[in-house]
């Protein structure tokens, strides 16, 4: 491995025009392809095989014109007047009518007999009359009424004339926002929400802030403006290719609208870090030789080997998301894995090519001279050495302190609550959240969390028995805990035009609690647990669907997939680390450290984002896929730092240092760079907290927290303490396993290097 990368680095340095040209051509080609074939991203979270998906398919069979819940483009505009007044008062009625007309005239709004845009006051009267004529009860009328019992809150519902939410033009959404803003005032409150107004905006400002912090850290690390800019420039090229590649992927598969954001977030962070590691090694090798081509070869052969295996651990963690068979999560993992793979390739080929182009100017624009303190033997004494010696004074205390502290931070995780993003979890400053609060306050929490039971009566031959069976389903649903009301809201077209001969029905269940409330989730569980008995008694086939049921099913599937994912990822990465370090204990401690990081990170994230501690954000459930995605990303990044730190420790051990001196020497050569890389990655992730979307804020916070805990607490404190305690046993490997494992030479043991000119005397091998 080291020799292969050594030759690659030297070739890229020497033939830099060819390598740079290839990357430019690739960037142009992928960009042109993306522009030619790309399609819109998707905002759906469907998972094939979940119960609500099967119920939705059953609904499509019975009601051929039924809309797919995941392609809902509806919008609900809520209007409210002050206490003691009503919507029908002359001061408001004309303004509401004008609001309805403006909405109907807006771009892409569907206006026809099947989906009219109605004034809530006239709609309520017409609906009440129609339902009463059909024998509906007052409770049935109230459950569907667009006006609350006090007559002061009304709902205007319409759809966009498109097939799916991604087809809605941003200008059409902005037109609705402008209309409701103009209509509000003088006592009339107007807010809007619904799938048709979901926005997925991505601002480059967060990236720029992360890059600015990274630039400052790199300037402090290298003391050179040119060198500081190299990792950023190469990382941006990798991120650009990743973003364009993800855009091109939309032509072949559904890509979640948050996939590009997460791919860019991870690609930018690892891209800067990987280039930083190789560039820092290049500068270190220049102290041994004046041959820049040789120094580049050594840097790519040693640090580049670590980059390859660090990247492989991240790739394993991300690509393994496909194992859980969740399409949108698989797409996210694959997209992020592409970003990591490109970051590795850029660091191994484009960076040495740029070094070949710049040559002596690679460290130009000097703002601070690098003149480290050295001991009597000429070895560098930096903060990494000082920290390693401090931990070595009492490694048992260090291990105990880290385990107790991280265990305490993990305690809030027991209250973890997961949900998909919705209007009710949006920031309170948004119109979506305010509309949600208005509707819940006027109509009850369950108005926005309906469950839909689909009843298939095609196996019941007698019409009267079938209609009676539909009534039994309503009674069964109404008898459940936490049900405010249940009623039949539709039957399919009867084969002979007789409504009594309808073979399918949909029963609307309005819970008393909201979509994120555990009581609603328990209601769904109770319905499914008891539906078998109802099916046996009535001869009907039943299914429960709707957005609330779909959201719960997605969360449950993600929870079930997490253990499988952990086994696959940790198992594969453990084997890879055994291959890299030729040890069993080092990979084991690395994995245990990762588990501590994940548990502590989830605990802190629950405390801050779900419980609302510190007042930074409003408390709300975490997005359903956060734990599994966090596990994948954090595992990959944790192994990054493990590889970069411990390979330098093993390198010192391979070249003769004893177990104590190897740890100190490893920190001497890598702690400073790993610390800089961690700060950069934290800055990139933390910058995404500035975005408006709550789940992106939480994801950025969780990843930044995980990097801090793993890099500074686990890898720089716990791991060296354990290495001290294990001593030479850290590198123990059964002889039979040592014989069958291939040797990859990550440490560059086979590469010939000159002595450090600053060293007064070479280290004496241990045991001599």
The string of DSSP letters for 225-285 reads HHHHHHHHHHHHHHHHHHHHHHHHHTTTS--BTTHHHHHHHHHHHHHHHHHHHHHHHHHHH
Averaged pLDDT, 748-759: 53
Distances (CA, A) of 572 to 315, 566, 567, 731: 11, 10, 8, 20
**510 domain-assigned:** no
Select, from the ranges 197-211, 529-543, 581-595, 658-672, the one with the highest average predicted confidence (pLDDT): 529-543
**Chain-centroid distance, C-alpha 634:** 11
pLDDT single digits (tens) 631-666: 877 887 777 788 888 888 887 877 777 878 888 888
pLDDT at 623 over 90: no
pLDDT single digits (tens) 336-381: 888 899 999 999 999 999 999 998 888 888 877 766 677 676 677 7
557 and 695 belong to one structural domain: yes
Last residue of a domain, one of 164, 193, 222: 193
* Residue (of 4, 137, 159, 174) closest to 68 by Cα position: 159
C-alpha angle with apex 206: 204 to 207, nearest 5 degrees?
65
**67 domain-assigned:** no
- 749 φ, ψ (degrees, to nearest 5): -60, -30
Averaged pLDDT, 316-321: 82
Burial class of 490 by CB neighbour count within 10 A (0 to 12, 13 to 18, 19+): middle
Averaged pLDDT, 519-534: 92
96 and 230 belong to one structural domain: no
pLDDT single digits (tens) 394-415: 999 999 999 999 999 999 988 8
372 and 346 belong to one structural domain: yes
- What percentage of the chain reaches a pLDDT higher than 90? 24
The residues near 49 (Cβ < 8 Å, ≥ 6 apart) are none
Burial class of 660 by CB neighbour count within 10 A (0 to 12, 13 to 18, 19+): middle
Q: Decide: helix, strand or coil at residue 730.
A: helix
**353 domain-assigned:** yes
C-alpha angle with apex 96: 93 to 102, nearest 5 degrees?
145
pLDDT, averaged across the chain = 83
Q: How many angstroms separate the CA atoms of 327 and 329, rounded?
A: 5
pLDDT single digits (tens) 96-148: 989 988 998 888 888 765 556 666 767 666 666 655 555 567 777 777 888 88
Last residue of a domain, one of 167, 193, 219: 193
Residue 397's pLDDT is: 94
For 473, the token pair is 């389903």
Q: How many angstroms separate the CA atoms of 238 and 347, rounded?
A: 9
**445 domain-assigned:** no
**61 domain-assigned:** no
Q: How confident is the model at residue 536 (pLDDT cuts 50, 70, 90)?
A: very high
Least confident among 43-52, 565-574, 695-704? 43-52
Length of the chain: 768
Q: Provide the domain count of the chain.
A: 2
Last residue of a domain, one of 172, 193, 214: 193
Q: How many angstroms separate the CA atoms of 344 and 636, rounded?
A: 13
Between the CA atoms of 576, 580, 583 and 585, what dihedral angle is there, to the nearest 10 degrees? -60
Averaged pLDDT, 381-387: 84
333 and 280 belong to one structural domain: yes
For residues 140 and 515, which has the higher predicted lDDT (pLDDT)? Answer: 515
For 381, the token pair is 């004494």
For 586, the token pair is 């080092």
Distances (CA, A) of 766 to 195, 545, 582, 661, 728: 67, 68, 19, 10, 11
321 and 414 belong to one structural domain: yes
Averaged pLDDT, 498-504: 76
Q: Which residues of 14-52 are buried (b: 16+ CB within 10 A; e: fewer)?
A: eebeebbeebeeeeeebbeebeeebeebbbbbbbeebbb
- 160 φ, ψ (degrees, to nearest 5): -85, 145
178 and 224 belong to one structural domain: no
**58 domain-assigned:** no
> Which CATH number do you get for residue 181?
3.30.70
Select, from the ranges 112-116, 304-308, 319-323, the one with the highest average predicted confidence (pLDDT): 304-308
pLDDT at 511 over 70: yes
Whether the CB-CB separation of 309 and 746 falls below 8 Å is answered with yes
Q: How many CB atoms lie within 10 A of CB 552?
A: 27
* Residue (of 151, 145, 150) closest to 128 by Cα position: 145
Q: How many angstroms separate the CA atoms of 481 and 734, rounded?
A: 60
Q: How many angstroms separate the CA atoms of 206 and 685, rounded?
A: 9
Q: Decide: helix, strand or coil at residue 137.
A: coil
Q: How confident is the model at residue 766 (pLDDT cuts 50, 70, 90)?
A: very low
Q: How many angstroms separate the CA atoms of 715 and 736, rounded?
A: 29
188 and 207 belong to one structural domain: no
* Residue (of 155, 43, 164, 179) closest to 99 by Cα position: 179
How does strand 622-623 pair with strand 418-419? parallel
What letter would DSSP give residue 742? P
Q: How confident is the model at residue 512 (pLDDT cuts 50, 70, 90)?
A: very high
9 and 83 belong to one structural domain: no
For residues 126 and 532, which has the higher predicted lDDT (pLDDT)? Answer: 532
First to last CA, the chain: 30
Q: How many angstroms separate the CA atoms of 238 and 306, rounded?
A: 19
132 and 232 belong to one structural domain: no
Range of the domain at 81: 73-193
For 169, the token pair is 């033009």
252 and 206 belong to one structural domain: yes
pLDDT single digits (tens) 255-267: 776 777 778 878 8
For residues 500 and 586, which has the higher predicted lDDT (pLDDT)? Answer: 586
For residues 32 and 47, which has the higher predicted lDDT (pLDDT)? Answer: 32
The string of DSSP letters for 338-353 reads HHHHHHHHIIIIIHHH
Q: How many angstroms separate the CA atoms of 192 and 180, rounded?
A: 8
What letter would DSSP give residue 68? P
Averaged pLDDT, 216-243: 88
**398 domain-assigned:** yes
Strand partners, 452: 508, 545
Instruction: Collect contacts of 608-611 with beta carbons under 8 A, ≥24 apart.
Output: 608/701, 609/694, 609/697, 609/698, 609/701, 610/415, 610/416, 610/417, 611/412, 611/415
pLDDT at 306 over 70: yes
What letter would DSSP give residue 712? I
Least confident among 181-195, 366-380, 453-467? 366-380
Residue with structure tokens 């099947």? 114
- 510 φ, ψ (degrees, to nearest 5): -100, 110
Residue 762's pLDDT is: 38
For 360, the token pair is 């002596």
606 and 563 belong to one structural domain: yes
Residue 220: in which H helix or E strand, if any?
A: helix 204-222
Q: How many angstroms separate the CA atoms of 324 and 547, rounded?
A: 22
Averaged pLDDT, 64-71: 71
For 557, the token pair is 């599937």
279 and 347 belong to one structural domain: yes
**300 domain-assigned:** yes
């Amino acid at each position: 491995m080291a020799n292969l990368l050594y030759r690659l680095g030297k070739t890229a340095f020497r033939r830099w025009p060819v390598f740079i040209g290839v990357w430019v051509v690739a960037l142009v080609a992928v960009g042109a392809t993306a522009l030619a074939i790309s399609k819109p991203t998707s905002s759906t979270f469907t998972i094939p095989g979940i119960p609500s998906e099967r119920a939705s398919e059953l609904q499509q069979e019975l009601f051929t014109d039924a809309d797919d819940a995941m392609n809902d483009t509806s919008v609900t505009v809520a209007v409210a007047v002050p206490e003691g007044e009503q919507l029908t008062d002359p001061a408001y009625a004309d303004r509401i009518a004008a609001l309805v007309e403006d909405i109907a005239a807006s771009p892409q709004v569907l206006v026809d007999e099947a989906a009219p845009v109605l004034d809530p006051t006239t709609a309520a009267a017409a609906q009440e009359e129609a339902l009463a004529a059909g024998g509906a009860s007052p409770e049935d009328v109230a459950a569907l009424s667009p006006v609350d019992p006090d007559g002061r809150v009304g709902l205007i519902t319409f759809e966009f004339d498109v097939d799916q939410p991604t087809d809605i033009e941003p200008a059409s959404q902005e037109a609705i926002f402008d209309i409701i803003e103009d209509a509000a005032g003088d006592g009339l409150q107007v807010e809007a929400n619904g799938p048709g107004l979901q926005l997925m905006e991505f601002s480059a400002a967060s990236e720029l802030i992360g890059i600015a912090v990274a630039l400052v850290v790199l300037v402090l690390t290298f003391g050179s403006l040119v060198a500081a800019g190299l990792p950023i420039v190469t990382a941006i090229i990798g991120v650009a290719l990743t973003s364009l590649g993800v855009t091109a992927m939309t032509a072949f598969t559904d890509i979640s609208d948050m996939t590009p954001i997460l791919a860019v977030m991870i690609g930018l962070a690892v891209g800067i870090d990987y280039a930083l590691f190789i560039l820092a090694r290049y500068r270190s090798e220049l102290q041994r030789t004046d041959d820049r081509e040789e120094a580049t070869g050594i840097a790519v052969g040693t640090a580049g080997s670590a980059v390859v295996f660090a990247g492989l651990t991240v790739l394993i963690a991300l690509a393994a998301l496909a194992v859980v068979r969740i399409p949108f999560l698989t797409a996210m993992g694959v997209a992020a894995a592409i970003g990591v793979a490109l970051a590795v390739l850029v660091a191994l080929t484009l960076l040495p090519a740029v070094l070949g182009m710049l040559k002596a100017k690679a460290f130009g624009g000097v703002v601070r001279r690098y003149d480290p303190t050295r001991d009597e033997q000429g070895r560098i004494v930096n903060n990494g050495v000082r920290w390693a010696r401090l931990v070595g004074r009492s490694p048992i205390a260090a291990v105990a302190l880290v385990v107790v502290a991280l265990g305490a931070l993990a305690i809030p995780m027991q209250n973890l609550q997961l949900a998909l993003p919705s209007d009710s979890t949006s920031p309170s400053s948004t119109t979506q959240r305010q509309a949600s609060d208005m509707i819940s306050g006027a109509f009850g929490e369950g108005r926005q969390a309906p469950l839909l039971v689909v009843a298939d009566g095609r196996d019941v031959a007698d019409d009267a028995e079938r209609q009676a069976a539909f009534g039994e389903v309503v009674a069964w649903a109404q008898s459940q805990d936490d049900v405010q009301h249940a009623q039949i809201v539709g039957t399919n077209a009867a084969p002979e035009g007789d409504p009594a001969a309808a073979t399918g029905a949909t029963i609307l269940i309005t819970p008393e609690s909201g979509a994120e409330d555990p009581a609603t989730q328990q209601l769904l569980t109770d319905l499914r647990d008891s539906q078998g008995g109802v099916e046996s008694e009535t001869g009907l086939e039943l299914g429960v669907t709707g957005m609330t049921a779909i959201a719960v099913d997605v969360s449950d599937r993600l929870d079930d997939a997490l253990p499988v994912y952990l086994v696959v990822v940790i198992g594969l990465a453990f084997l890879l680390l055994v291959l890299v370090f030729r040890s069993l204990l080092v990979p084991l401690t690395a994995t245990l450290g990762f588990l501590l990081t994940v548990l502590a990170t989830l605990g802190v994230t629950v405390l801050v984002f779900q419980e609302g501690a510190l007042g930074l954000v409003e408390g709300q459930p975490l997005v359903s896929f956060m734990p599994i995605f966090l596990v994948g990303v954090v595992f990959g990044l944790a192994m990054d730092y493990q590889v970069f730190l411990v390979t330098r420790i093993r390198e010192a051990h391979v070249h003769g240092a004893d177990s104590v001196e190897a740890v100190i020497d490893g920190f001497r050569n890598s702690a400073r760079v790993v610390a800089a890389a961690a700060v950069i990655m934290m800055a990139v992730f933390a910058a995404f907290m500035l975005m408006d979307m709550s789940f992106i804020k939480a994801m950025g916070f969780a990843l930044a927290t995980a990097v801090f805990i793993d890099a500074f607490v686990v890898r720089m404190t716990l791991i060296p303490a354990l290495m001290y305690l294990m001593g030479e046993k850290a590198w123990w490997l059964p002889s039979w396993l040592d014989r069958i494992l291939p040797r990859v030479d990550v440490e560059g043991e086979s590469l010939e290097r000159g002595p450090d000119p600053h060293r007064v005397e070479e280290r004496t091998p241990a045991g001599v």
